Structure 1
């Protein structure tokens, strides 16, 4: 019998790429500064609740996540990571800002370079028996991992360096909650 998605996630070997929680407070100012959250869009009260629920759901489903949790340098992604995984180190990686920039006005060369770097990151297999967690941004439609809802998760299966990756499934926050209820105990 084929293993369920939840069964596969519990065995590890995947990258879980999630978009941050709902961010409707403030705006990303033209000259925002990563050090000053007031210059950026930030999590709403709902976004904070979503982040806490997201982390609780992964723990309830017994999906192993290896530290550190990787986050984009925006306050909304860092806060999402800290609320979802309060006892796990959050590692801020500037590369994920490039994913945010994909939604802007980039040359074809710049876009290609970012997507090539994304591919090399998503090819790296996590430690045996665990999954890697990245919290960053949605992509433009048809680019990279595509549009992602608030705390939606793209499940990526790395094939190893130089071998690409496979998008296994994209789950909304509600889909993730349904994973547990669809599992046969």
Structure 2
């Protein structure tokens, strides 16, 4: 009985590491599309009258979130093929995650990654995102930094703040090939 318990604990402690290592292996090969939730930003939602052009009116990265983003960038630089492009929603917390992790020159705002205003907007955004993902043919990795709601709409599952989801692409559907969790 003790052996069975030890085996079960071992399997469950190794699985997350294997999932992460599988993700790193894919990223080392390059040409991957990575969906990522912004780094740590305390709170839920934005104030009622926020302005996309004014970071002071939005929910922003905490100091811990900025450190997390820099750590993500350092790990990706050390363990993966080069990052070719970083697309981010226009919200400050996603743009800040992108620039803290990968620098300002690779980052491009992509409005389809914004939080949707309603369900019909989300359907249009999903179509735009899928088009961009499916047309990607670069040899480096493409990162798309967005929000929980957009990730859930695209893959049907949540992601933690700062989590990277390497996508398996094919037509109108996306699947999760691997995940890398950054603490």
| Interval containing the TM-score (normalised by the shorter chain) | 0.7 to 0.9
The alpha-carbon distance between structure 1 residues 157 and 64, as it changes in their structure 2 partners (threshold 3 A), is farther
Q: What's the secondary structure of 1:34's corresponding residue?
A: coil
Mapped to 1, the partners of 2:48 and 2:35 lie a distance apart of: 26
**Deviation for aligned residue 1:140:** 6.9
**Deviation for aligned residue 1:27:** 6.1
**Deviation for aligned residue 1:119:** 2.4
**Deviation for aligned residue 1:80:** 0.8
Higher share of residues assigned helix: 2
Select the residue among 42, 58, 78 that pairs with 1:40: 58
**Deviation for aligned residue 1:163:** 6.0
Alignment partner, residue 28 of structure 2 = 10
Alignment partner, residue 74 of structure 1 = 91
Structure 1: gaps of 5 or more residues: 175-185
The question of 1:153 aligning with 2:164 is answered yes
TM-score w.r.t. structure 2 length?
A: 0.76
**Deviation for aligned residue 1:134:** 1.3
**Deviation for aligned residue 1:110:** 4.0
RMSD: 2.6
Structure 2: gaps of 5 or more residues: 1-20
Aligned residues, how many?
Answer: 162
Q: Deviations over 1:133-166 (max 9, x none)?
A: 111111278532221101101101334xx56443
**Deviation for aligned residue 1:32:** 1.3
**Deviation for aligned residue 1:25:** 6.9
Which structure has the bigger radius of gyration? Answer: 2
